[in-house]
Amino acid sequence: MDRSSEAMASAFAAFAFMYVIIICAIVVFTIWVYWRIFAKAGYNGALSLLNLVPGVGPLICVLILAFGRWPIEDQLALLQRDSAAPMPPPAAPGTSVMPTA
């Protein structure tokens, strides 16, 4: 092997290493973002690990978020059903919220 072939092989190895590092960073960032979205929707954040399934993982995650009944919606419905008195309308700007005697 001559020096130019060694230099080219070394450059390729460095490029491949950087490529793998960047791809791993993108995958970790995507998992973290989906984890946050699932957690805010009331699901278990570990559902974001479905993104690791090649080809269909991200599609499954989007379908769950788009068409699934979010647990946070169930909690909201429960709170609305259990509240005895309806919420009063907000006060108009410039009016006092304290009752007058």
Handedness of CA 54, 60, 61, 62 (dihedral sign): positive
Per-residue tokens: 73: 């919606």
pLDDT tier for residue 95 given thresholds of 50, 70 and 90: low
Q: What is the pTM of this model?
A: 0.64
44 or 97, which is more confident: 44
Residue pLDDT, tens place only, 16-42: 999 999 999 999 999 999 999 999 888
Do residues 38 and 63 touch, judged by C-beta distance below 8 A?
no
The CA distance from 15 to 49, in Å, is: 28
45 or 88, which is more confident: 45
- Would you give the distance in Å from CA 5 to the centre of its chain? 45
The CA distance from 61 to 66, in Å, is: 9
The CA distance from 24 to 64, in Å, is: 24
- Per DSSP, 88 falls in state P
The CA distance from 72 to 78, in Å, is: 10
